[in-house]
């Protein structure tokens, strides 16, 4: 679909850099790890989340810039930065964040854990008894899996998997065949944990761990009998992981993707991480092997893969060092033993995750699979996990002879293999599996159950629909904030049915009654709503826009917001991550405020509010305000029609976040964020929602008090 013509103002000064904005978000995540009010083991998790985010940043965003450099592109981004300038600035900021991350881990988090009896033992600290135990572990668990590769003319440098842990070993002396190449590579088995717990009686503390890297480093000489080990250095390479499938050439998307997936682990290298003790000679040698330059080298004062530490809190039974657990509540209409169909027939039901349970969605599918009156189920799958209970219910429904249609998005980044597996299992039991529309990711979150019911002594079909801002992934619904709507509104059901017809069949797009849909009407309708507020402001009426999303990048939307601001519209944006809009600039965005809330849960709602001359129009959506969501994805945006539920969305999804004075970061016109402590009473959105909706009071506050 062609994109609309941009407004007249498109100068670079009006936009912030996307990648730098992402790094600013990572700094806000890192601030959670530095916050002493956050439970200690959760602070360790935030350290790991930063590493995971940075991995994907290099795999996708930096990889894209390096592709531009390889092709000699001199095309500037929306912010005016040329690819080379952007790459250098990103590198400077990335090095700074990683430096702060390791300093926080080494100087604050690990000592604080040690004070709590959770110790990571360095090699120099091992007692003779510990050394004996660790050596036995090496011989029995590690050594049989290792394949050292000497580097010589008959043993070229091995293919190194993306993000795998490896060791470069400097050697001296000839081997059994008289070879003396001086170097070897040892790849750490991915099947083994990166931290190993020692017996409590051997460490004198409650929890004593050693790093797998320390074990291998200590005993690497046993892999090279008779040779001297001069140095052993951890390293890790990050590769371009963006899959390329040529939409114009492929005949079968599934087959094309299956052919492309194995290459993800061996894409072009984009970053090399080495231990900070790595010799300059070895670091340069590794850079040469991976076709990288000095700017691509990152020295780590510690283990090079912090992501794997995220499993450590699960090994430690210290509730006082973790967030207080909570039980997601059910809406009152569903608190007793309920018939999901009767409940939804009586009224629309709004679910606010993770504070409220995802169980009603699971129950909808469970009851649909077993209900003889249900004749068909249709669902979109973007991310749902490998062992999803939802998929089990769909499989059972298909086995019972119901018409099950599943639109599986094969190109859901990093979930492609799981989704291929789901598609195969569904096909085996007779479900209809389609892959949406080539060239457009199916990102809409829709579930529809068709049920034959008796009404006025006549048989009728009724559609029960679930729409959501988040994925059908039972695990992430415990950690992501999202809204879901259960309804049997006839017109919304008709709209959803029409979208499914587009996804599974052929034909022109019909006009929808309530849903805004990308790539057809979402962008135009969003602009129309913004312009309507601007027109009201120009006529002297009060006008207001509040929008909450993950990312704000699309240029025309930003320009329309600027125009609305100049017209006098009060605009408040809650953008978790990347934001290219500059707020608070005289004669451009004086009436726009941007804030980002980062806390225990990942903020994931997409909520759009327009005052609309007092009508207060409220929409939920699967789409962020990004070019890809508007023009290269199939998305839906749906209104909240029930006045009671509309008030809830405004209160729980917007107002509480605008009142947050604890975890809300305010953005300035240069893209810098700062916390603005308030002298007013403490108000933290996520804590308030936990207390109000989950039925458990002061959860996060109690957890913080436990740490202190």
pLDDT above 90 for 285? yes
At CB < 8 A and 24+ separation, what contacts does 495-501 make? 496/446, 496/448, 496/463, 496/465, 496/467, 496/636, 497/448, 497/463, 499/444, 499/446, 499/634, 499/636, 500/378, 500/405, 500/407, 500/446, 500/448
Which are the contacts of 238, defined by CB distance < 8 A and separation ≥ 6?
55, 58, 59, 162, 163, 269, 270, 271, 272, 273
User: What pLDDT does 496 receive?
Assistant: 97
Mean local confidence (pLDDT), 280-301: 95
User: What pLDDT does 416 receive?
Assistant: 56
Cα dist from 55 to 23, 51, 162, 211, 241, whole Å: 12, 6, 10, 20, 10
CA pair distance 403, 478, nearest whole angstrom = 30
Which are the contacts of 298, defined by CB distance < 8 A and separation ≥ 6?
94, 95, 98, 271, 272, 273, 274
Mean local confidence (pLDDT), 567-592: 97
Choose, from 443, 466, 523, 604, the residue flagged as catalytic. 443
Mean local confidence (pLDDT), 258-280: 76
User: In CATH, what number does 12-34+40-321 get?
Assistant: 3.30.1840.10
Please, where in the chain does CATH 3.30.1840.10 lie?
A: 12-34+40-321
Answer whether 551's CB lies under 8 Å from 626's CB: yes
pLDDT band at 187 (very low <50, low <70, confident <90, very high): very high
Phi, psi of 44 (to 5 degrees): -60, -40
In angstroms, the first-to-last Cα distance of the chain is: 55
pLDDT above 70 for 559? yes
Cis? peptide before 519, omega within 30° of 0: yes
Task: For the domain made up of 517-707, give the CATH fold.
Answer: Endonuclease; Chain A (3.30.870)
pLDDT band at 338 (very low <50, low <70, confident <90, very high): confident
CA pair distance 493, 466, nearest whole angstrom = 10
pLDDT band at 71 (very low <50, low <70, confident <90, very high): confident
User: What pLDDT does 255 receive?
Assistant: 52
Query: In 3-state terms, what secondary structure has residue 528?
Result: helix
User: What pLDDT does 501 receive?
Assistant: 92
pLDDT band at 260 (very low <50, low <70, confident <90, very high): very low
Neighbours of 556 (CB within 10 A): 20
User: In CATH, what number does 332-437+444-502 get?
Assistant: 3.30.870.10
Of 263-267, 518-522, 574-578, 584-588, minimum mean pLDDT range: 263-267
Which are the contacts of 17, defined by CB distance < 8 A and separation ≥ 6?
77, 79, 81, 86, 89, 580, 671
Mean local confidence (pLDDT), 149-177: 79
Which are the contacts of 607, defined by CB distance < 8 A and separation ≥ 6?
469, 483, 546, 547, 548, 549, 618, 619, 620, 621, 649, 653, 654
CA pair distance 210, 213, nearest whole angstrom = 8
Share of the chain above pLDDT 70, in %: 89
User: What pLDDT does 384 receive?
Assistant: 66
Q: Which two tokens stand for residue 9?
A: 């103002």
Which are the contacts of 696, defined by CB distance < 8 A and separation ≥ 6?
324, 326, 327, 690
Strands (E), 503-647: 516-518, 544-549, 570-575, 592-597, 602-603, 607-610, 617-621, 633-639
Residue 514 annotated in active site: no
Compute the mean pLDDT over every residue in the chain, rounded to the nearest whole number: 88
Mean local confidence (pLDDT), 194-201: 94
Mean local confidence (pLDDT), 166-172: 91
Residue appearing with tokens 């023009």: 631
pLDDT above 90 for 147? no
CA pair distance 341, 337, nearest whole angstrom = 12
Cα dist from 227 to 220, 230, 231, 232, whole Å: 11, 9, 12, 13
Share of the chain above pLDDT 90, in %: 69
Give the side-chain half-sphere CA count within 13 A for 210: 25
Helical H runs in 227-318?
Answer: 253-260, 280-289
Please, where in the chain does CATH 3.30.870.10 lie?
A: 332-437+444-502, 517-707
Cα dist from 681 to 246, 308, 640, 676, whole Å: 55, 38, 31, 13
Helical H runs in 292-415?
Answer: 340-346, 359-370, 389-399
Mean local confidence (pLDDT), 181-198: 88
User: What pLDDT does 174 receive?
Assistant: 64
Triad 476, 482, 488: Cα angle to 5°: 115
pLDDT tens across 367-409, in order? 999 999 999 999 998 776 667 888 899 989 999 999 999 888 7
User: What pLDDT does 150 receive?
Assistant: 82
Cα dist from 75 to 6, 83, 556, whole Å: 18, 7, 19
Helical H runs in 605-672?
Answer: 627-631, 643-648, 656-658
pLDDT above 70 for 16? yes
Closest CA to 366 of 350, 352, 377: 377
* Distance from the Cα of residue 360 to its chain's centroid: 24
Answer whether 264's CB lies under 8 Å from 241's CB: yes
User: What pLDDT does 154 receive?
Assistant: 53
User: What pLDDT does 251 receive?
Assistant: 42
Residue appearing with tokens 């017809």: 501
Which are the contacts of 297, defined by CB distance < 8 A and separation ≥ 6?
272, 274, 283, 287
Q: Which two tokens stand for residue 679?
A: 């002298």
CA pair distance 44, 31, nearest whole angstrom = 12
Answer whether 400's CB lies under 8 Å from 371's CB: no
CA pair distance 207, 314, nearest whole angstrom = 12
pLDDT above 50 for 256? no
pLDDT above 60 for 591? yes
Mean local confidence (pLDDT), 215-231: 89
pLDDT above 60 for 670? yes
Answer whether 261's CB lies under 8 Å from 245's CB: no
* Distance from the Cα of residue 658 to its chain's centroid: 23
Count Cβ neighbours within 10 Å for each residue of 215-239 and write b for 16 or more, e otherwise.
bbbbbbeebbeebebebbbbbbbbb
pLDDT above 50 for 232? yes
User: What pLDDT does 178 receive?
Assistant: 55
User: What does DSSP say about strands 664-667 and 602-603: parallel, antiparallel, or unpaired?
Assistant: unpaired
Closest CA to 532 of 519, 545, 523: 545
Closest CA to 551 of 530, 522, 579: 579
pLDDT above 50 for 261? no
User: What pLDDT does 385 receive?
Assistant: 64
CA pair distance 361, 367, nearest whole angstrom = 10
């Amino acid at each position: 679909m062609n994109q609309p013509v941009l407004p007249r103002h498109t100068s670079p000064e009006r936009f912030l850099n996307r990648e730098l904005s992402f790094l600013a978000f990572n700094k806000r995540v890192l601030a959670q790890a530095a916050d002493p009010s956050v439970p200690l083991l959760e602070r360790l998790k935030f350290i790991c989340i930063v590493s995971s985010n940075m991995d994907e940043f290099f795999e996708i965003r930096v990889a894209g810039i390096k592709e531009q450099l390889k092709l000699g592109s001199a095309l500037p981004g929306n912010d005016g930065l040329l690819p080379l300038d952007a790459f250098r600035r990103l590198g400077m900021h990335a090095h700074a964040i990683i430096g702060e991350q390791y300093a926080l881990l080494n100087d604050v988090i690990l000592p604080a854990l040690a004070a709590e009896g959770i110790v990571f033992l360095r090699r120099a600290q091992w007692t003779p008894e510990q050394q004996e135990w660790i050596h036995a572990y090496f011989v029995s668990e590690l050594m049989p899996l290792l394949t050292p590769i000497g580097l010589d003319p008959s043993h070229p440098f091995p293919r190194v998997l993306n993000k795998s842990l490896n060791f470069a070993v400097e050697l001296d002396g000839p081997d059994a065949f008289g070879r003396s190449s001086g170097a070897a590579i040892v790849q750490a088995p991915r099947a083994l944990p990166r931290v190993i717990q020692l017996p409590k009686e051997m460490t004198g503390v409650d929890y004593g761990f050693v790093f797998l890297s320390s074990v291998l480093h200590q005993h690497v000489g046993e892999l090279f009998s008779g040779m001297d080990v001069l140095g052993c250095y951890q390293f890790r390479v990050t590769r371009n992981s963006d899959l390329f499938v040529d939409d114009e050439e492929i005949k079968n998307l599934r087959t094309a993707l299956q052919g492309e997936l194995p290459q993800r682990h061996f894409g072009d290298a984009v970053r090399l991480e080495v231990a900070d003790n790595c010799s300059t000679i070895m670091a340069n040698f590794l850079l040469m092997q991976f076709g990288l330059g000095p700017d691509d080298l990152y020295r780590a004062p510690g283990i090079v893969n912090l992501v794997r530490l995220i499993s450590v809190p699960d090994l430690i039974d210290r509730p006082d060092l973790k967030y207080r657990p909570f039980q997601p509540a059910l809406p009152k209409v569903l608190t007793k033993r309920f018939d999901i169909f009767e409940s939804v027939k009586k009224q629309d039901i709004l679910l606010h995750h993770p504070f409220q349970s995802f169980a009603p969605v699971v129950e909808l599918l469970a009851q649909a699979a077993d209900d003889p009156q249900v004749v068909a189920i249709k669902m979109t799958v973007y991310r749902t996990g490998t062992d999803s209970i939802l998929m089990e219910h769909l499989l059972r429904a298909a086995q019972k002879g119901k018409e099950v249609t599943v639109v599986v998005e094969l190109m859901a980044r990093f979930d492609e293999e799981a989704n291929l597996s789901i598609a195969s299992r569904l096909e085996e039991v007779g479900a209809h599996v389609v892959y949406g529309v080539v060239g457009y990711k199916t990102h809409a979150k829709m579930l529809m159950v068709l049920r034959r019911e008796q009404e006025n002594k006549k048989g009728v079909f009724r559609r029960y629909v679930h729409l959501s801002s988040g994925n059908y992934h039972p695990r992430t619904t415990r950690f992501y904030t999202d809204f879901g709507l259960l309804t049997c509104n006839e017109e919304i059901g008709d709209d959803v049915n029409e979208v499914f017809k587009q996804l599974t069949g052929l034909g022109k797009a019909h006009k929808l009654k309530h849903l805004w849909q990308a790539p057809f009407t979402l962008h135009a309708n969003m602009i129309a709503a913004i312009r309507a507020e601007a027109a009201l402001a120009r006529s002297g009426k009060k006008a207001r826009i509040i929008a909450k999303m993950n990312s704000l990048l699309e240029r025309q939307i930003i320009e329309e917001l600027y125009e609305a601001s100049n017209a006098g519209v009060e605009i408040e944006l809650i953008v978790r991550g990347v934001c290219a809009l500059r707020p608070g600039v005289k004669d451009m965005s004086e009436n726009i405020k941007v804030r980002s809330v980062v806390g225990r849960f990942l903020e994931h709602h997409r909520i759009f509010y327009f005052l609309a001359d007092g009508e207060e129009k409220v929409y939920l959506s699967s789409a962020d305000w990004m070019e890809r969501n508007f023009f290269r994805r199939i998305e839906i945006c749906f209104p909240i029609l029930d006045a009671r539920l509309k008030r809830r969305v405004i209160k729980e999804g917007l107002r509480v976040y605008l009142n947050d004075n604890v975890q809300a970061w305010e953005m300035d016109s240069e893209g810098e964020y700062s916390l603005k402590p308030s002298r007013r009473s403490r108000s933290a959105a996520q804590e308030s929602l936990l207390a109000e909706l989950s039925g458990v009071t002061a959860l996060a506050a109690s957890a913080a008090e436990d740490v202190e």
